[in-house]
Amino acid sequence: MAGPLLIRPRAVLQREGLVPGLEVLLDGEVVASVGRGLAAADVLDLPDVVLAPGFVDLHVHELGGAGVLDAERPDLPALARALAAGGTTAFLATTAAAPIAELERVLQHVATAQPANPSGARCLGVHLEGPWLAPARAGAQPTAHLAAPAVADLARLLDAGPVRMVTLAPELPGAMELIEYAVSRGVVVALGHSDCDYRTAGAAVDAGARHVTHCFNAMSPLHHREPGLAGAALDLDVSVELIADGEHLHPATARLIHRAVGPSRACLVSDAVDRGARPDGVLAGAAVTQAAGVRNLVSWGIPLEHALTMAAATPASVIGHEAVIRPGAPGDLVAVDDAGRLVATWVAGVRT
């Protein structure tokens, strides 16, 4: 095993912002020390980069040809490696609408997969994007597999494996009961693929929902007399996903989300599926990494420290994870230049 590594960047992202002159000592899998004037035999000088916590992707289906969309052949190790190459050090493996039995197989696979992947991102559990979605806002989701919310189905899936997040449409019959049950079991409920009005979104938040999936995409739009789910996402006390690939959102819309909710509520996700738009013009996920999203956000005028927070600390906090650089924290780090371009990634203290 290599000895301690001292990294000397231009600045380190801390809770208070970018702090110039800090140094970070990695020892084994963890951050051993953060400060000035540190010493180690192995020193990496990076005077032109910012060091930040590794990115946390709450919404990723497939990348590099690997993922969990194929219930018969999910490949978490390959997905984890592809994600680490794009700066993501932890993620939720995200499904699409499918029969409950298929979703069970995915969850069982994740539950029995190797807990550590030294060359790839850490899988923190599963995000069920469906099957409890509105047909009118299904987007590229397979409508044949959409279903009405049922507590018994969610209970069955929770028994199968580590469900950390569920996306659902709150206007569907049974949705409020499912939200309350999911929250009672420690699952984060996200609102998405929904045609609900503002009042229904508010009722769902009152029931325990606290996240919105890919804001403005596959949801009732913002209108000045009926704000819909998009307006509720900006107005209510929830965290909000955005996809910064330049296709799902106009740069001005991304800036609007940032200004409305701030970096403490905005979560940069990839929604990666390796495919992009379908022939009929419907967006079927994105073909972008979180690192590319950070770079885009910076080019659209969002401050670098905010873009990095939106890719790491904020999404981590949604699921009770921590993405921070402090003594004792996991050695999950990224180095980026001032334009947000990825320079290096470390997972558990190992450069990928």
Give the domain 55-318 fold: TIM Barrel (3.20.20)
Residue 201, helix vs strand vs coil:
helix
Q: Which residue out of 75, 195, 271, 332 is catalytically annotated?
A: 271
Q: Where are the domains of the chain?
A: 5-52+325-351, 55-318
Considering the segment(s) 5-52+325-351 as one domain, its CATH architecture is: Roll (2.30)
Residues 280 and 143: their CA atoms lie apart, in Å, by 15
Instruction: Report the amino acid identity of residue 248.
Output: H
For residue range 292-330, list pLDDT tens digits in order. Answer: 999 999 999 999 999 999 999 999 999 999 999 999 999
Question: With 0-12 CB in 10 A as exposed, 13-18 as middle and 19+ as buried, what is 47?
Answer: exposed
Can you tell me the mean pLDDT for 164-189?
Answer: 98
Residues 85 and 290: their CA atoms lie apart, in Å, by 10
What residues have CB less than 8 Å from 32, skipping those under 6 apart?
4, 25, 26, 327
Q: Is the peptide bond before 173 cis (omega within 30 degrees of 0)?
A: no
- Identify whether 235 is a catalytic site residue: no
Which of 77, 140, 164, 121 lies closest to 287 in space, CA to CA?
140
Residues 103 and 91: their CA atoms lie apart, in Å, by 18
Instruction: Tokens for 3, please give them.
Output: 């000895």
The per-residue pLDDT for 73 is 72
Q: Say if 5-52+325-351 and 55-318 have the same CATH topology.
A: no
In the predicted model, is pLDDT for residue 290 greater than 70? yes
User: Tokens 């997040």, residue?
Assistant: 165
The per-residue pLDDT for 277 is 46
Which residue did the predictor score with more confidence, 117 or 303?
303
